[in-house]
Amino acid sequence: MKRSVPFLTALLILAANGCVLPTFEHAVSTPESSFWDDKLCGEWVPITIGTNGTIKKDNQPVLIGHDPKNKGWTIIGSMRINAEHEIEHEIRHFLATRIGDDQFISIPMSEDENFFATPTTGKSDLPNNVKKYALGKYSYDVKTDRLGVRWVSPIKLKEAMQRGMLLGTITEETTERNGKKELKLKAIHVESTTKQLREFLKQYPDMIFEDTTEYLQRVAPKG
């Protein structure tokens, strides 16, 4: 699968592989309560760190910066040459917020659980069109100049919801495996309010997130 906006690659891969993508009725912050994190700004490339410590860099950089026209929103964008040798650019918005010592991002999604098309195609991912969000937790390592992102685990989120810690709906279907019937998670959607999400994440900042981390490496300015 070709990457379009590498910062969101992990979520896109989940959707493409048929895995459950957790969605949220509300963002973890409103545009008014979000903040422009200067540590996010700059040029980045996705990297993969092997078990032996080797680092493989992607060849498609992305730019992250503040949206000057929409308070509280941050923009991530990329540019590439397509198969017809035409220049294409893609832009996505997201909200960044801090809760205690931890940072989180809320990414707008459409009704069909996909990322909104870029503004250049006539659609917007700004608040009046947003129906749901994806959620991630990020951190910046000043020593390595890397940005790490962890996405919500559907299994961990399901456990938290079953314990009554978050409100929402869990959709499962009966499947058969090795001659035995079992329930398979089909969809999971959190309906808790922004305030309730913030209170939960303040108490349990790591509970619902994957153990694996996706990394971006900052590109040093030339000259």
120/139 Cα distance (integer angstroms): 30
What is the predicted pLDDT for the residue at 4? Answer: 43
pLDDT at 207 > cutoff 80? yes
Supply angle C-alpha 206, 23, 72, rounded to 5: 80
Distances (CA, A) of 147 to 40, 44, 88, 150, 177: 8, 9, 25, 10, 39
180-190/168-177 β-pairing: antiparallel
Residue 16: pLDDT band (50, 70, 90) is very low
Q: Which residue has the higher pLDDT, 196 or 5?
A: 196
200/196 Cα distance (integer angstroms): 6
The domain ranges of the chain are 6-153+192-218
pLDDT tens digits along 44-92: 998 888 888 898 888 788 899 999 888 899 998 887 777 788 877 778 8
Residues in the chain: 223
CATH class of 6-153+192-218: mainly beta
Pair of tokens at residue 141: 């390592």
Q: Which residues of the chain form beta strands (DSSP E)?
A: 23-24, 42-49, 55-57, 62-66, 73-81, 87-99, 102-109, 132-141, 146-151, 168-177, 180-190, 214-218
pLDDT tens digits along 123-143: 444 545 677 899 999 999 999
Q: What share of the chain is helix, strand, coil (3-state, %, to 5)?
A: 15, 40, 40
What is the predicted pLDDT for the residue at 3? Answer: 41
Max mean pLDDT range (34-43, 85-94, 170-179): 34-43
What global pTM score does this model have? 0.84
Largest CA distance in the chain: 64
* Mean pLDDT for the stretch of residues 187-194: 96
* Mean pLDDT for the stretch of residues 209-220: 91
The strand pairing partners of 41, in sequence order, are none
Q: Tokens 């220049």 sit at which residue?
A: 87
